[in-house]
């Protein structure tokens, strides 16, 4: 999992851009990767407001993956990895 803040100077008019206490506007991008010896696969990504925590974004992403691509994710990632990620995020609730 990797998260990046995308700051937009004077981004007040951008759709969905949120302001944080320092006065910056922008988004937070969270990318979930399946890293293997020979390649890295992007499993999912989500774009949220700067004020959202990475755990919150990860929970939203996993809920969407579970709802729309559950069988594909379980086959691609393997049941053990998929369950481990879900259990880890549920433990932080």
pLDDT in tens, 47-92: 888 778 888 888 898 888 877 776 666 666 666 666 777 777 777 6
Query: How far apart are the C-alpha atoms of 47 and 3, rounded to whole Å?
Result: 10
Mean pLDDT of all residues belonging to the chain: 75
Tokens of 36: 């293997």
Whether 27 contacts 33, CB under 8 Å: no
What is the reported pTM? 0.58
Domain count, the chain: 1
Query: How far apart are the C-alpha atoms of 23 and 1, rounded to whole Å?
Result: 27
Structural domain containing residue 14? 2-91
- Per-residue pLDDT, 31: 87
- Pairing, β 25-35 against β 18-19: antiparallel
- In which residue are the tokens 């989500």 written? 46
- Per-residue pLDDT, 77: 63
- Per-residue pLDDT, 16: 62
């Amino acid at each position: 999992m990797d998260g990046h803040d995308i700051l937009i100077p004077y981004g007040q008019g951008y759709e969905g851009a949120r302001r944080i206490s320092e006065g910056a506007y922008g988004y937070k991008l969270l990318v979930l990767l399946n890293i293997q010896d020979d390649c890295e696969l992007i499993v999912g990504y989500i774009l949220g407001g700067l004020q959202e925590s990475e755990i919150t974004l990860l929970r939203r992403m996993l809920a969407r993956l579970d709802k729309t691509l559950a069988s594909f994710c379980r086959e691609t990632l393997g049941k053990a990895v998929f369950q481990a990620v879900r259990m880890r995020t549920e433990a932080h609730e």
